[in-house]
Amino acid sequence: MVTTIPQTPNTPIQSVLIVGNYCHDVLLQGGAVVAETLGGAASFISNVLTGLSVSFHLTSKVGVDFKYPVNHDPIVVPTSKTTVFHAYFDQGYNENAHQDRVLKRVQVCDPINPSDLPDRKFDFGMAVGVGGEILPETLERMVEICDAVFVDIQALIRAFDENGTVKLVRLKESGFYHLLPRLKFLKASSDEALFMEVEEVRLWCCVVVTHGKDGCEVYWKDGEMKIAPFGANQIDPTGAGDSFLGGFVGGLVHGLVVPDAALVGNFFGSLTVAHIGLPKFDLRLLQRKCMLSNILQGSELCGSLCWKLGRIKEEVQTRKVQGTCWLERRDDE
C-alpha cells in the first residue's frame, strides 16, 4: 500500500517543484470577451499550495508581455511572448475538446528545457504543462531530481491543430510513454483518460481520474477506490483539475494517505469552479463550506490557512468512501 510519512508540528514541510508555464487566459462567450485572467496549471497549483502553507519552487516561462503580478517570478524570455489560450464556451463539443469549452492556443512561449530546472533535489515534482512546454527530456530530468513525480496527463497528450485548437493524442504516441514506470502518479480527467489504457498504465504508476461533480477515482496495480465529491455551483471549470492536483499533493506533503489527500483535492477543485480565474483560499471561504466545517473546528489556524489536515480522515469516514484497504508502502515500490 502507498502511504505517506506523517508530519509532526516540528517536521519541516517537504519541498515541491512545480514545472509549467504561466499563461494569459481569455474567456469568450457569444463572440464577446467575458474575462481575462492569469492562467496555466502552475498558477492554480501554486495558489493552492500557498494556501496550504507548502513551500515550493516554480519553474515557469513567460514573454516580455506578461501582465500579471505573481509571488513566484517566472523566467522572462526576451525574444518570446507569453502563452495565450482562448476558451470558447459556446462552440459545442467535439471528441478532442472539453465538453464545457473549446480551447485554442493563440500564442505560445518557449518550452521549458532541462537546463531551466534548479540544480537541487526535491521531495515532490509536478509536471503541469498546458501548452506543450514540457519536453520528454525535461520530464526525465524531473525524475532524476525529484523523489516522487506527479504528472498531469494534459502536459503529455495535448497537441494543437493549424488553428491552435487543443487536440489530444494517445499516450502511447506522445513520446512520454517510456517514462511511466518512473512516475508515482498520473492524473487525468475522465475525457483525457480515454486516450490511455488505464488498466495498463496502472501497472506502472498510480492513476487518478477526476470526474468533476462526481469526485474522482484512484487506480493502482491491485485495486481502485472512489473518492466522494464536494458540491459546487459551477461558473467556470478552468483550473478545477489543476486545483485538485494542488490539493492532492498538498495533502500528501502534510502526511495524509492517498484517499484522504484525494478528498482534499476534490475540495479545492469544487472551490475553483465557483470562480472565474484564481479563487482566494481564505479561512472565511472555507468556513462557508459546511461539509468541511468539522475539519476546521478545533484546528489551530496560523497565517493564511494552516489547519490540521489529519482531521480529514474523519470526513472520509462520514462520507463512507468505498474500499476497505489502501496500499502499504514497500521499499521496492
Marked catalytic residue, from 25, 152, 242, 260: 242
Helical pair 240-253 and 258-272, crossing angle rounded to 10 deg: 140
HSE of 174 in the Cβ direction (CA atoms, 13 Å)?
28
Which helix (H) or strand (E) segment holds residue 37: the answer is: strand 32-39
Beta carbons of 96 and 233 less than 8 angstroms apart: no
The residues near 178 (Cβ < 8 Å, ≥ 6 apart) are: none
Beta carbons of 36 and 146 less than 8 angstroms apart: no
Burial (CB count within 10 angstroms: exposed 0-12, middle 13-18, buried 19+), residue 190: middle
| 93 DSSP assignment | -
Residue 242 is among the residues annotated as catalytic for this protein: yes
Q: For residues 178 and 170, what is the distance between their CA atoms, to the nearest angstrom?
A: 13
Q: How far apart are the first and last CA of the chain?
A: 9
Q: For residues 36 and 11, what is the distance between their CA atoms, to the nearest angstrom?
A: 40
Neighbours of 69 (CB within 10 A): 7
Q: For residues 301 and 333, what is the distance between their CA atoms, to the nearest angstrom?
A: 35
Grid coordinates standing for 209? 481520474
Among residues 182, 167, 221, 176, the alpha carbon closest in space to that of 198 is found at 221
Residues marked active site are found at 242
